[in-house]
Each structure stands twice: as structure tokens, then as C-alpha cells.
Amino acid sequence: MLGGAFNLIDGIVTLVYEHFFAVDTGHYVLLVTSNRDAWGWTALCIGMAMLVTGWFILTRGSGWSRVTGIVIAGLDSVFQLLYLPHFPLWSMIMILVDVLVIFGLAVPADYEEA
């Protein structure tokens, strides 16, 4: 749910502030830079999906919600890779959060080390 909240904030800031992204990206070509509204709405949609899935995991803990959480965290990791030219440190932090979420959801709750 924390990653979802961060994506919501990213999406809102992208939609509200016109010059949120750095224009000069060096050798990187980022197709969505020219369409910041699509970029912001994508971040908002991923954030909402993460929040809703996190709520289902916390309240129900069902298998389908855990699998959905893993899939959405994986998609968010790919989405965050596109952020690398603009915000390298933030992107790496978000990818780390996604990896920890995937690990936490993939390990069974009754897992014990031998």
C-alpha cells in the first residue's frame, strides 16, 4: 500500500506541475515524456491498483490477492525503470520497495527456516 501511495503522489504531481520531468535526458529516449498527462494517469492507475490490492491482502489474505499483488508490483517495477533517466535514486528506491513486496507476498505465511 505504501508503494501505491507513492505512485498516487507521483501521478498527482505529474498532472499538476507541468515541468515535473527534466527535459534533458541525455542518451535516453522516453516516449511518454512528450505526453505527461498519460504518464501521470498511468502512475495514478498503478497506484490505485496497488492500494486496492493491498487492502484486499490485509483484509482477506486470499491467494488471488497475493498473486495480483505480485503481478502489480512487477508491473510497477517495469514502470519505475522508465523513471530512471529522470529520477534515478527515487526509481531505485521504488524498485526496491517492489522487490520487497514481491518477496513478502511470495513467501508463505507459515514459512519456517529449518
> How many helices (H) does the chain have, and how many strands (E)?
4, 0
Q: Choose among 110, 102, 108: nearest CA to 50.
A: 102
Q: What is the pTM of this model?
A: 0.81
Q: What count of Cα atoms within 13 Å lies in the side-chain half-sphere of residue 80?
A: 23
pLDDT digits (tens, 9 = 90+) for 72-93: 999 999 999 887 877 789 889 9
How far is residue 67's CA from residue 18's CA, in Å, rounded to a whole number? 36
Tens-level pLDDT at each residue, the chain (114 residues): 889 999 999 889 888 887 666 555 555 555 455 567 788 888 999 999 999 999 999 998 888 999 999 999 999 999 998 878 777 898 899 999 999 999 999 987 666 665
Domain ranges of the chain: 2-19+29-106
